[in-house]
Amino acid sequence: MKVSQNWLRNLVEITSTPEDLSEKLSIGGFEVESLEDCSENVNGVVLGKVLSVLKHEGSDKLSICQVDIGTSKKLQIICGARNIKPNIYVYVATVGAKLNAVDLTIKRSEIRGVMSEGMICSLQELGLEDSSEGIEIIDEDLALKHELGAPGSDLLQLNDFIYDLAITANRPDGMSVMGIAREISALLESTLSFPEINHKYNKRLLKSIKLCPEAITSNCVYTISCIDGVNGDKLSPKWLKDRIEKSGIKSINLLVDLTNYILLEQGQPLHAFDKEKLSNLIGKAVSPQDFSVRKANDNESLVCLDGKKYELNENITVVTCCDKPVAIAGVIGGLETSVTNTTSSIYLEGAVFNPVTIRKSSKEVGIRTESSSRYEKGISSKNTISAVTRAINLLEEYFSINLPIINTSNLINNEDIFIKLRRNRIHKILGPLIIDDQFEKRNLSDTEIVGKLTLIGCTLKSKEYGWDVAVIPNRSQDLTREIDLIEEIARLIGYDKFDLNLPSPIKPGKLSSEQLALRKVKNGFTENGFNEVLSYSLVPEDKETLIKISNPLLLETSCLRDNIWKEHLEIVNRNIKAGQTSCYIFEIGNVFHKNTEFIQEEVLNGAIYGNKKFGKWVSSGKDNDLNYYQARGKLKEALSCFNIKIDDKPTDSIDYLHPGRTAKLIIEGKNAGYFGEIHPKLLLEKKSLKKVYLFNINVDQIIEASTRKNKWIPVFKQYPIVPKMERDINFVFSKKFLISEITSQIRKTGKNLLEDVYLIDVFEDIKLGDDHISYTFRLSYRDKDKTLLDSDITSIHSNIISKIEKCFNTKLRN
């Protein structure tokens, strides 16, 4: 929102510098993104009078001019403009002036043998017009009001500053100059002088008008007024043109400019339709009852004021005349019924639409206008009749119009709605004030509370508990509760004026065991050469099982993902295409499923491709891929920071993983995830460019297992002081038995003296058969109190062999 300081000065007394005011506005909640000095481009430009003009002997186009700028010495200036002549008043750029519009710094220079001591300027060179045919000749009546040498900014009325404000969604009042003026009045505690509105026009209730209930809700309004006797050929006066152009709106003609002026001043968008064009469109004389608001049909289109043709649909709300679209409601008007220089009668529309419908319409057509941005933030319907009345008051000043009737869809109830504001609640939330330069503290007085709320336009009724507060309409969107009023009091007084109210005693925060475990996971992976990635949780709808979101921005982001591995595979493929020989990635993220209800699951997902080596001399320069066991070892290393056991159980149930090189990961007897090689069919289909290993583990299960008291807190264990005794055993097993099953059975049988058991050799041979394999295990025995003898372990060792032979239908090999 851009606003001129000169315009603000007409509405509120400003007693501070532009820089100080910018700081106060920013601290108060209206951030000033930039402050523009309008006179910056004409610094060093003064009023001058051309005394004489002589032809330059060395040029047919140049003239030698003697110019008086109010100094004792007359300036000699070389000028090439065709319209230069004696006894005219001009803008003179003196030596040292910088003309930013043409990137020129004026210097004393010699032109074809004649000295030139300045430059006579056109409005283009001053940056005030896009093009000029010659120098600017100043009106003599205007020039005589100033002395020669007066700054050009005085004549051009450029002694002004433009504030560019960033208005937040909760402060729609900041989208009007009056709202900003009221804010300045509250911050500076200065007086307001708003324009008077003459409410002399009759109002009539439109009973038969058809209005879309979604667009015009109970707290909205639609008004339409017929105004005859206007002239579309009339241009705006200079003050009006200056104000709207400094606010970033191009001046067109007086009718259009007045609607834009009300939009800026009051914050209420208005739109003017050409009455004659409406009649030509519908084939009869127009009446207020012909207007309606509805949802557009899929086969309709509308050419709008920007000259573009928009295809309409049911998500777009339109204003119609006899059911023919004439505007996209709250966004942009139609070109066919727009005001032009031939307009003599208009229908003036003023409305408040539901912000949701305007946002939908604006999104569908892909444009955001000054009107739509205000409707989206929300404006009060209590101001609409006043804004329309103000517009008609201004039209009466410049045209001989009839006294129109304001036709309205409903008569807005202007009764105040009061908010209960308790004195003790203010003191409890804000605490005491700190008196300047003193150590005294006190609560806010009633006078201070009433004074601050009165500055923002509130009306207060004294009660025993405090006050009943009525809020002005343009603040009714953000001041709805008691806490909002308390916050407003604190904002206007200054948060830094209140005493600190820290909790006592202050307890330092700390991470929970679960949070620490999650950090350990991430550190474990990064320390082992993995890179953490973050993928988008919104995906396109490619299958029915995905959960759809109700308000997607794009079709490509319309559903919640049910896996992460697809995105990780894409990341690996991109790395391969970029020439990378390895890619180790992991991510902790959420996936979403739906059964009878929606399920959100946090998972640790990742991918392993290639072999990370510091040098290629070991493999003679060949890129050797990791085999299954090496890749699984990488995952084991990354999770070695946890004192938990993860068992692997072969599976062929995962359709995108290799059926013979995939395992379910079992934690504490529960299925926690998987690890496996990518399925060969994905390699053939080029969905995976190389052999990749994928893994997926449920985060809750790994965190729960690792944070159990006996796992999380290290317990000191006495180092053994006696030697252990080792025995190797070798069996031929059926391949259907898992190593984990065999070692588990050995541990159970020898649990008294058996300290450890691990696999030391695997042997396959045709003689053993295709379905059999030889495993050799090493068993370690130890007694904590004495050195074992062979006789001490013979019985246990024999029991283990017998149990293995019985359970797995095998025999001990010699």
- pLDDT of 621 > 60? The answer is no
Query: Among candidates 29, 179, 17, 170, which has minimal Cα distance to 490?
Result: 29
Q: pLDDT per residue over 374-390, tens digit each? A: 999 989 899 999 999 99
pLDDT at 438: 61
Two tokens at 265? Answer: 């001043």
- Between CA 361 and CA 313 the distance in angstroms is 9
- Please give the share of the chain, as a percent, with pLDDT higher than 70: 98
Q: Where are the beta strands (DSSP E) in 711-767?
A: 725-734, 754-763
pLDDT at 586: 97
Map 60-97 to HEC letters.
CCCEEEEEECCCCCCEEEEECCCCCCCCCEEEEECCCC
- Between CA 156 and CA 187 the distance in angstroms is 31
pLDDT at 720: 86
Dihedral of the alpha carbons of 527, 533, 534, 535, in degrees to the nearest 10? -150
pLDDT at 119: 94
pLDDT at 342: 93
Query: Among candidates 135, 163, 245, 187, which has minimal Cα distance to 28?
Result: 187
Q: Label residue 503 by pLDDT band (50, 70, 90).
A: low
- pLDDT of 86 > 90? The answer is yes
Across residues 272-282, what is the average pLDDT? 94
- pLDDT of 97 > 70? The answer is yes
Scanning the structure block, which residue is given the tokens 């709808």? 541
Across residues 195-210, what is the average pLDDT? 91
Across residues 583-595, what is the average pLDDT? 94
Q: pLDDT per residue over 137-168, tens digit each? A: 999 999 999 999 999 988 888 889 999 999 98
Query: Among candidates 316, 327, 263, which has minimal Cα distance to 292?
Result: 327
Across residues 337-345, what is the average pLDDT? 94
- pLDDT of 533 > 90? The answer is yes
Whole-number average pLDDT of the chain: 91
If one counts every other C-beta atom within 10 angstroms of the C-beta of residue 633, the result is 12
Scanning the structure block, which residue is given the tokens 């667009």? 215
Four-residue CA torsion sign, 549, 551, 552, 555:
positive
- pLDDT of 345 > 60? The answer is yes
Q: What is the model's pTM?
A: 0.66
- Between CA 194 and CA 662 the distance in angstroms is 77
- Between CA 453 and CA 462 the distance in angstroms is 13
DSSP string, 330-380: TTEEBSTT---TT--EEEEEEEE--HHHHHHHHHHHT---HHHHHHHH---
Query: Among candidates 773, 753, 744, which has minimal Cα distance to 761?
Result: 773
pLDDT at 249: 92
- pLDDT of 604 > 70? The answer is yes
Radius of gyration of the chain (CA): 41
- pLDDT of 571 > 90? The answer is yes
Two tokens at 639? Answer: 């999770």
- Between CA 336 and CA 227 the distance in angstroms is 19
Across residues 164-179, what is the average pLDDT? 90
Give Cα 570 to chain centroid, integer Å. 27
Two tokens at 429? Answer: 């939330």
Across residues 734-738, what is the average pLDDT? 89
pLDDT at 253: 93
Across residues 8-26, what is the average pLDDT? 92
Under DSSP, is residue 597 helix (H, G, I), strand (E, B) or coil? coil
In which order are the strands placed within the sheet that holds 406-408?
203-205, 406-408, 221-228, 345-352, 270-274
Cβ-contact 54, 84 below 8 angstroms: no
pLDDT at 13: 93
Residues near 47 by Cβ (< 8 Å), separated by ≥ 6? 69, 70, 89, 91, 92, 138, 143, 146, 147, 148, 149, 150, 151, 152, 155
DSSP string, 204-247: EE-SS-EE-TTTS-TT-EEEEEEEES--TTPPPPHHHHHHHHHT
Neighbouring C-alpha atoms within 13 Å toward the C-beta of 184: 30
pLDDT at 614: 66
- Between CA 782 and CA 764 the distance in angstroms is 32
Q: pLDDT per residue over 536-563, tens digit each? A: 999 998 888 899 988 888 888 889 999 9
- Between CA 732 and CA 738 the distance in angstroms is 13
Q: What is residue 473's DSSP assignment?
A: G
pLDDT at 130: 82
Across residues 673-698, what is the average pLDDT? 95
- pLDDT of 675 > 70? The answer is yes
Residues near 456 by Cβ (< 8 Å), separated by ≥ 6? 182, 183, 186, 472, 475, 488, 492
- pLDDT of 790 > 70? The answer is yes
Q: pLDDT per residue over 415-440, tens digit each? A: 888 999 999 999 999 988 887 666 67
- Between CA 379 and CA 173 the distance in angstroms is 8
Across residues 394-403, what is the average pLDDT? 92
- Between CA 441 and CA 561 the distance in angstroms is 56
Residues near 503 by Cβ (< 8 Å), separated by ≥ 6? none
Q: pLDDT per residue over 282-306, tens digit each? A: 999 999 999 999 999 988 999 999 9
Q: Label residue 39 by pLDDT band (50, 70, 90).
A: confident
pLDDT: is 467 or 416 the higher one?
467
Give Cα 177 to chain centroid, integer Å. 25
Residues near 424 by Cβ (< 8 Å), separated by ≥ 6? 465, 466
- Residues facing residue 759 across a β-bridge: 777
Across residues 513-525, what is the average pLDDT? 94
Pairing of the two strands 582-594 and 531-532: parallel
Q: What is residue 40's DSSP assignment?
A: G
Q: Give the chain's largest Cα–Cα span.
A: 132
Amino acid at 407: N
Q: Label residue 577 by pLDDT band (50, 70, 90).
A: very high
- pLDDT of 414 > 80? The answer is no
Cβ-contact 130, 26 below 8 angstroms: no
- Residues facing residue 79 across a β-bridge: 63
pLDDT at 354: 94
Query: Among candidates 204, 207, 181, which has minimal Cα distance to 192?
Result: 181
pLDDT at 314: 92
Distances in Å between the Cα of 772 and the Cα atoms of 494, 629, 745 are 83, 20, 19
Q: Label residue 615 by pLDDT band (50, 70, 90).
A: low
Scanning the structure block, which residue is given the tokens 């009869």? 284
- pLDDT of 77 > 70? The answer is yes
- pLDDT of 27 > 90? The answer is no
